[in-house]
Amino acid sequence: MRSTVIVDYGMGNLRSVQKALEKVGHPAAITTDLNVIRDAGKVILPGVGAFRDAIARLREAELVAPLLDHIRSGRPFLGICLGLQLLFTRSFEDGEHDGLDIFPGDVVRFAPLPGLKIPHMGWNEVSIRRRPPLLAETPDRSHFYFVHSYYVAPRDFSIVATETDYPSPFVSMVWKDNLYATQFHPEKSQRVGLDLLRRFAEL
């Protein structure tokens, strides 16, 4: 089985993702090494923080090309939180910023509504619209943990795997072929999150 790599670009709960994978019996390396990323069997791109800073750091570290090469090779890829948003065309967080444009669509902020707390933080139900292998045995409407103020708005709804209400439905997971990405944090989502990470590591 080829190695699983967690990409370190200076933004993300890297160690918590690594510890969660260790807990399910799948060690993963945290790395900035372009060659290690190129040779990896599976790549995880986590992220916490601002879109603008994240995409700038990916470009400065010359990580964009190996990430795109990995995805195009058909090897499994998992984006988490900001790692999901970076896959889209552009973000409107603190201005307008170009993303990796793997998926056409935008990253937009929750609309301010009376009584709605932003960021969306805590446990929320995930409704499965199209069941990916990573959720093969996960009950529909299981609860996962979220921390975010922005969400993705894909132009192609065929990639949508799950949705979550806050208060209107937003896309909480996408899946296309070898590419998976979640707005929620599986590493913070206890049993269901650990199961998702285990299934990814076993692809």
Alpha-carbon gap, residue 128 to 134, rounded angstroms: 11
Handedness of CA 139, 198, 9, 154 (dihedral sign): negative
Nearest to 181 by CA among 202, 152, 148: 152
**Secondary structure of residue 92 in the 3-state scheme:** coil
Nearest to 23 by CA among 197, 200, 139, 182: 197
Asked if residue 76 has a cis previous peptide bond (ω within 30° of 0), the answer is: no
Catalytic residues: 81, 185, 187
Alpha-carbon gap, residue 115 to 128, rounded angstroms: 26
Q: Would you call 124 exposed, middle or buried from its count of C-beta atoms within 10 A (0-12, 13-18, 19+)? A: middle
- Name residue 179's beta-bridge partners: 77, 176
